[in-house]
Chain A
Amino acid sequence: MNLIEFFTSFPEMSAESLRLFKKSVDGAYRNFSAKYGDAIEAVFDPVLYFLVWFEKLLHNSPWPLVILALLGLVYLGSRSIYLTIGSLFAFLFIGYFGMWDDTMSTVSIIGVCTALTIGFGIPVGILMSGSDRARAMITPILDVMQTMPSFVYLIPVVMLLGIGKIPGLLAVIIYAIPPVIRLTDLGIREVNKEVLEAADAFGANRMQKLFRVQLPLALPTIFAGINQTIMMALAMVVIASMIGVKGLGQPVLKAITNQYFTMGLLNGLAIVALAIIFDRVSQSYGKRMQQHRAGANE
């Protein structure tokens, strides 16, 4: 090998050893999933049962009742009559154009996803805020979760759990959970040091500080994270549909492969309508919390 050759072509590993490397990793993972796939799947069974139950509930209840319940939630969250009326029209539009069942499937998976991301994300965020070392370890993982193309982590998930709701749920959670974690961490770290010192001076222990001072003061920031998470979960609906998650993503996927422009547009608009409703409701709920904190409404 002469010097010029060294500089013009990168000294790469031989094609044969690269092939062997890929093959052995794939083989090892295949063995792993054959051996433990069922056990790991069983772990998620309760989530699956709940998801199926929730979806059935939304599907089987009479539609006016479901709309009424949803509008009730919208009003409770936003306290805005305009948003409630707007949501009513959005749901009527969705139902009239034959997208009711798909929309309910999407609402159910987004609902379960949001609950799970909050349930996991906030404790992880609290852990991160309490220790710089935990933060240094978790931050790169969050970076990978947010930037790794979702198709790449779909491969091992599908290999392990097959096609269906749970792998779809996992894919959505992996993509959507980082904002809740990051903003919980940020919110707690941003709590005024003097206020924390006051809590210390009065003899508050760690839990008392967390629940009486840090979390309440971080809540508006945490809520911004939850809002982001819901938006990102909705954005993943189409990709999740590729591995068998029912909902508005499936007709969109069908529209792409068959070039059905109108079908794609209608279902896309339904996703947008859901996104806007979720966003406005959670934002105005978050804002109300802040107002209460600032006491500026008097």
Chain B
Amino acid sequence: MSEIKIKIENLYKIFGPRAREYTNKVKGGIDKDELLAKYNHVLGLDDINLDIKEQSIQVVMGLSGSGKSTLIRHINRLIEPTEGTVLVDGEDITKLNKADLLEFRRNKTGMVFQRFALFPHHNILDNVQFGLSIKNLDKSESKDKAMYWIEKVGLTGFENKFPNQLSGGMQQRVGLARALAIDPDILLMDEAFSALDPLIRTDMQDQLLDLQKNLKKTIIFITHDLDEALKLGDRIAILNGGKLVQDGNAEEILLNPADEYVSNFVKDVNRIKVLKIGSIMNANGNKNESNPSVMIDESIENCLPTMLESESGLNVVDSEKNFVGVISKNNIAEILRKSKD
């Protein structure tokens, strides 16, 4: 479960004709603005080190220009790195030759794009089949697979329509089905839901989490929306100016932001909704038999009513109903006060 699927090491990307010469300058401490002003080269990624666990959802977050789209394109090498390695299952994909790279893309990675990038001249069925037809898969087999995924994303009956006859949400379902049809280990989602309106976006997020329960893919999800990141991400990596400033789970990022950039980012997050009881409980407290119990992975919000009714706090239990700690009103008050600062 916790095997590392993708290991990114010392990855640098500089855009411009003399990129290689300037990597040393970047290593010497020049930042993005200075590199642009002095040498007219754009710093895309600055010494990225990131381990992505198998079967997890790794969110990469940042404002536009922070390098998140550049980073995701290094995983299937749509962008060539200036320096560094990207290991997938221990194999350095930056060293693959042309033919091997095509094979890698055909079998290991599926990609979903912000603006869908469907093929306008193909109907839905042919769009979903695209990756399979590139592999020259047997026609009836590829059709069966495509129809399976069309059904999975809830588009049965639309297979003969063209992309522009579908709404945005439906088009992105096609994009998702197209990526999943080749049965990749790795799903790359580049702001996949950013172009959708909020209700549909929530729908798609739920559908993705639902699918992931059975699929267990390694998903790299790019977003600039913190709520989306907190909802989807097993881990969240935050980029700023091409640098990875923090990588951690939702609680770590909310409770211990690495720098001002991250704390500004998380300032407006509704903590009691996101934080779990486990992250604020007192593990050294003594069990009080007369108090009600709550689950360790419950959100604070969900146990607030019980909390307010209780006299002296709650017992916290894990999934096997074993006592693991206590939580008091003070613990919650502290969190609320912190988030106001």
Interface residues of chain A, those whose CB is within 8 Å of chain B, are: 192, 194-195, 197-205, 208, 212-213, 216-217, 292-296, 298
- Residue in contact with A198 in the complex, picked from B106, B113, B161, B165, CB distance below 8 Å: B113
Q: Chain B residues near A202: list those with CB within 8 A.
A: 105-106, 110-111, 130-131, 134, 178, 182
Contacting pair B105 A293 (CB below 8 A): no
- Residue in contact with B113 in the complex, picked from A194, A213, A294, CB distance below 8 Å: A194
- Give the most central of A197, A202, A203, A216: most B CB within 10 Å: A202
Contacting pair B76 A205 (CB below 8 A): no
- Residue in contact with B119 in the complex, picked from A203, A213, A292, A296, CB distance below 8 Å: A213
A221 to chain B, nearest CB (A): 13
Quick check: is B15 within 8 A (CB to CB) of the other chain? no
Chain A to chain B: the 5 pairs with minimum beta-carbon distance, closest first? A295-B162, A203-B106, A203-B105, A198-B117, A201-B111
A-B contact pairs, 28 of them (CB 8 A): A194-B117, A195-B117, A195-B118, A198-B111, A198-B113, A199-B130, A200-B105, A201-B105, A201-B109, A201-B188, A202-B105, A202-B110, A202-B111, A202-B134, A203-B103, A203-B134, A204-B102, A204-B134, A208-B134, A216-B121, A217-B121, A293-B120, A294-B162, A294-B164, A295-B164, A295-B165, A296-B164, A298-B165
Kindly report which residue of chain A lies nearest to residue B135, judged by CB atoms: A203
Apart from A194-B115, A201-B109, A201-B111, list 4 A-B contacts with CB within 8 A. Answer: A195-B117, A197-B78, A292-B121, A293-B162
Contacting pair A203 B104 (CB below 8 A): yes
Report the Cα distance A215→B101, complex, angstroms. Answer: 24
Q: Chain B residues near A296: list those with CB within 8 A.
A: 164
Q: Chain B residues near A217: list those with CB within 8 A.
A: 120-121
Report the Cα distance A208→B133, complex, angstroms. Answer: 10
A139 to chain B, nearest CB (A): 24
A194 to chain B, nearest CB (A): 4
Kindly report which residue of chain A lies nearest to residue B106, judged by CB atoms: A203
Contacting pair A203 B162 (CB below 8 A): no
Render B148-178 as a binary contact track against A, CB cut-off 8 A, 1 for contact. Answer: 0000000000000111110000000000001
Q: Chain A residues near B161: list those with CB within 8 A.
A: 295, 298
**Which of B93-143 touch A at CB < 8 Å?**
101-107, 109-111, 113, 115, 117-121, 123, 130-131, 133-135
Given contacts A295-B161, A295-B165, whether A197 and B105 have CB atoms under 8 Å apart is no
Contacting pair A294 B115 (CB below 8 A): no
Q: Chain B residues near A192: list those with CB within 8 A.
A: 117
- The total of Cβ contacts below 8 Å across the A-B interface reads 71
Kindly report which residue of chain B lies nearest to residue A195, judged by CB atoms: B117
- Give the most central of B101, B123, B131, B135: most A CB within 10 Å: B131
Report the Cα distance A197→B111, complex, angstroms. Answer: 10
- Give the most central of A212, A213, A216, A295: most B CB within 10 Å: A295
Task: State the main secondary structure of chain B at its contact with A.
Answer: mixed
- Give the most central of A199, A203, A294: most B CB within 10 Å: A203
Contacting pair B105 A195 (CB below 8 A): no
Contacting pair A197 B164 (CB below 8 A): no
Contacting pair B104 A197 (CB below 8 A): no
Render B65-77 as a binary contact track against A, CB cut-off 8 A, 1 for contact. Answer: 0000000000010
- Residue in contact with A195 in the complex, picked from B109, B120, B131, CB distance below 8 Å: B120
Q: Chain A residues near B120: list those with CB within 8 A.
A: 195, 217, 293-294
Q: Chain B residues near A292: list those with CB within 8 A.
A: 121
B172 to chain A, nearest CB (A): 13
Q: Chain A residues near B134: list those with CB within 8 A.
A: 202-204, 208
Report the Cα distance A294→B163, complex, angstroms. Answer: 9
Kindly report which residue of chain B lies nearest to residue A219, judged by CB atoms: B121
Contacting pair B117 A197 (CB below 8 A): yes
B142 to chain A, nearest CB (A): 13
Kindly report which residue of chain A lies nearest to residue B131, judged by CB atoms: A202
Q: Chain A residues near B178: list those with CB within 8 A.
A: 202
Contacting pair A205 B102 (CB below 8 A): yes
Report the Cα distance A298→B111, complex, angstroms. Answer: 30
Kindly report which residue of chain B lies nearest to residue A216, judged by CB atoms: B121
- Give the most central of A194, A198, A294: most B CB within 10 Å: A198
Q: Chain B residues near A195: list those with CB within 8 A.
A: 117-120
Report the Cα distance A175→B244, complex, angstroms. Answer: 58
**Which of B171-217 touch A at CB < 8 Å?**
178, 182, 188
Render B307-329 as a binary contact track against A, CB cut-off 8 A, 1 for contact. Answer: 00000000000000000000000
A90 to chain B, nearest CB (A): 34
Report the Cα distance A294→B182, complex, angstroms. Answer: 26
Contacting pair B119 A201 (CB below 8 A): no
Q: Chain A residues near B165: list those with CB within 8 A.
A: 295, 298
Kindly report which residue of chain A lies nearest to residue B162, judged by CB atoms: A295
Q: Chain B residues near A203: list those with CB within 8 A.
A: 101-107, 131, 134-135
Kindly report which residue of chain B lies nearest to residue A294, judged by CB atoms: B164
Report the Cα distance A53→B114, complex, angstroms. Answer: 56
Report the Cα distance A292→B135, complex, angstroms. Answer: 26
Contacting pair A293 B102 (CB below 8 A): no
Q: Chain A residues near B188: list those with CB within 8 A.
A: 201
Q: Chain A residues near B164: list those with CB within 8 A.
A: 294-296
Q: Chain A residues near B110: list those with CB within 8 A.
A: 202
A138 to chain B, nearest CB (A): 25
Report the Cα distance A208→B109, complex, angstroms. Answer: 18
Q: Chain A residues near B130: list those with CB within 8 A.
A: 199, 202, 212
Report the Cα distance A203→B164, complex, angstroms. Answer: 24
B100 to chain A, nearest CB (A): 11
Kindly report which residue of chain A lies nearest to residue B101, judged by CB atoms: A203
Q: Chain A residues near B115: list those with CB within 8 A.
A: 194
Given contacts A202-B134, A213-B119, whether A197 and B103 have CB atoms under 8 Å apart is no
